[in-house]
Amino acid sequence: MSEIKSRLAIIIPCFNEELVVQSTVEILLGVLDEIILKNKISEDSYIYLVDDGSKDKTWAIIESLREKYGARIKGTKFIRNYGNQKALIAGLLGVREIGCDACVSIDADLQQDENSIEVFVDEFQKGADIVSGIRNDRNTDSFFKKYTALCFYKLMNILGVKIPKNHSDYRLVSKRALDVLAQYPEEGLFLRGFFHEIGLKTSYVHFDVKPRKLGKSKFNVWSLTSLALNGITAFSIVPLRIIALVGVLTVFGSMLLTLEVLFEKYILHIAPAGWATLVILLAFFGGLQIFCLGIIGEYLGQIFNEVKARPRYIKEKELV
Ligand code: UDP
Ligand code: MG
């Protein structure tokens, strides 16, 4: 076992989780103790809770847990609900500031199997900077969520964002990955895409999903749609390119139509007066307009990428 033990932080985003937060924290403290006993992590490992603007007693419970367990419990509270991704980002940047060698994010309802945390730590100590949790199945999800999630990962893959399906926000990331994250100022960062894209050494661990014990899912059709759209638009400009392509195809189609209409007019003599010009102009300008929109879209995509001001590259090493 290595002499210098790693300090582990567990991040829990919480939105109206008064029913589960206490038992979750106590179970996770137990998990930490076990890993500490096995000498894999240091004793000052801790739990960091992000209260995402809960309207119930979540924060009061977090404060009482702090009183009971002292500095092992840390956290922050948002002024309002910003959504799960922002809560996770705040957690990641929060533990980076406090200090840790690695951190794991897990849901407050503990649907993810907490016993995988030790496996994550083992992978980290073998050299992985990111250990991603992959769900074994989606049996605990509703029919709707299961299939929309499937479509989402398929679409993301088609659009060039190759994230593994059944990927989750249950993962371990190293201090090094957190330092990279801190360099990404973009607002709508989609973590599943981000951690996959930065190219640090990643390993995958499969875990079982349990049904939620108490309370309801905090996601609805709208928040899931918004998460999916954000995931796509933050990582891919392919939809903009599709517009340009549709424009080109329409112009091309209008040319074929022109030939056909001219054939009807001059060879078959069946077209009524003025009709040919009208159809040709309509089809041609329709296509031209979409094509121009597509070009604008390309530039918009460039601006979009620039405005996000992502770092152009991350240096791994330097000789100075
Ligand atoms: N969550 C959050 N802000 C939100 C919605 C959810 O911090 O606006 C947290 C929630 O408290 C939980 C995690 O994100 O810890 C996952 O939420 P949930 O279990 O409701 O999602 P599901 O398991 O149904 O996908
Ligand atoms: Mg859940």
List pLDDT tens digits, range 12-40.
999 999 999 999 999 999 999 999 999 99
Nearest one of 74, 72, 76 to 41, comparing CA atoms: 72
Is 13 in a helix, a strand, or coil?
Answer: strand
Return the ligand 1 atom nearest residue 13 CA. Answer: 7
Q: Which domains does the chain have, with CATH numbers?
A: 8-156+167-216+311-319 (3.90.550.10)
Instruction: State whether the beta carbon of 191 lies less than 6 angstroms from ligand 1.
Output: no
Phi, psi of 292 (to 5 degrees): -65, -40
Instruction: Give DSSP secondary structure letters for 33-71.
Output: HHHHHTTSB-TT-EEEEEE-S-SSSHHHHHHHHHHHHGG
Q: Is the CB of 116 under 6 A from ligand 1?
A: no
Alpha carbon nearest to ligand 1 atom 17, residue: 218
Q: Is 169 in the pocket of ligand 1 (CB under 6 A)?
A: no
Ligand 1 and 217: CB distance under 6 A: yes
Ligand located closest to 81 CA: 1
- Cα 217 to ligand 2 centre (Å): 6
Out of 10, 218, 223, 224, mutate this one to test ligand 1's pocket (max ligand atoms within 8 Å of CB): namely: 218
Q: Residue 313 above 70 pLDDT?
A: no
Q: Assess whether pLDDT exceeds 80 at residue 63.
A: yes
Residue range 141-198, pLDDT digits in tens: 888 888 888 888 888 888 877 788 888 899 999 999 999 999 988 777 889 889 988 8
Q: How far apart are CA 191 and CA 169, in angstroms?
A: 8
Residue 104 Cα to ligand 2 midpoint, Å, equals 16
Decide if pLDDT at 297 tops 90. Answer: no
Angle at 274 between CA 272 and CA 279, to 5 degrees: 95
Between 214 and 176, name the one with better pLDDT. 176
* Nearest Cα residue to 7 out of 126, 131, 200, 172: 172
d(CA 27, CA 30) in angstroms, rounded, equals: 5
pTM above 0.75?
Answer: yes
Distance 114 CA to ligand 2 centre (A): 13
